[in-house]
Amino acid sequence: MRQADDLPGSSTMERFLALDMGAESGRGVVGTVDAHHETVSLEEVHRFPTGAIRLGNSLHWDLPRIVSEMGTIIAKASEEGKLSAIGTDTWGVDYGLLDKAGNLIGLPRHYRDRRHNVEQINRAYTKVSRETVFARSGLQTMPINTLFQLAAAAEQTPRLLDAADTLLMIPDLLYYYLTGTAQSEYTIASTSQMYDSVADGWATELLEP
Q: Which domain holds residue 50?
A: 1-89
**CB contact burial 109-128 (16+ within 10 A = b; e otherwise):** bbbebebbeeebbeebbeeb
- Residue 87: which H helix or E strand, with range? strand 85-89
Residue 79 and residue 97 in one domain: no
- Other beta carbons within 10 angstroms of residue 59's beta carbon come to 19
* pLDDT given for residue 1 in this prediction: 36
Beta-carbon contacts of 164 under 8 Å, excluding residues fewer than 6 positions away, are 97, 98, 99, 105
**Whether residue 96 sits in one domain with residue 83:** no
Are residue 70 and residue 144 in the same domain, yes or no? no
**Same domain for 106 and 145?**
yes
Q: What is the pLDDT of residue 180?
A: 96
CA gyration radius, the chain: 20
> Quick one: 140 and 81 in the same domain?
no
3-state secondary structure of 181: coil
- 129 in the same domain as 81: no
Length of the chain, in residues? 209
Type of residue found at 53: I
Of 89, 121, 136, the one marking the end of a domain is 89
Q: Are 71 and 157 in contact (CB under 8 A)?
A: no
Residues 67 and 129 in one domain: no
Is residue 192 within 8 Å of 133, Cβ to Cβ?
Answer: no
Q: What's the number of domains the chain is made of?
A: 2
Residues 155, 110: Cα–Cα separation, whole Å:
17
- Overall pTM surpassing 0.85 (yes/no): yes
How far apart are the C-alpha atoms of 81 and 15, rounded to whole Å? 8
Verify that 143 and 41 share a domain, yes or no.
Answer: no
pLDDT at 8: 52
Q: CATH code at 125?
A: 3.30.420.40
Q: Is residue 19 domain-shared with residue 64, that is, in the same domain? A: yes
Give the pLDDT of the chain (209 residues) as one tens digit per residue: 344 444 555 567 899 999 999 999 999 999 999 988 889 999 999 999 998 999 999 999 999 999 999 999 999 999 989 999 999 999 999 999 999 999 999 999 999 999 999 999 999 999 999 999 999 999 999 999 999 999 999 999 999 999 999 999 999 999 999 999 999 999 999 999 999 988 999 999 998 86
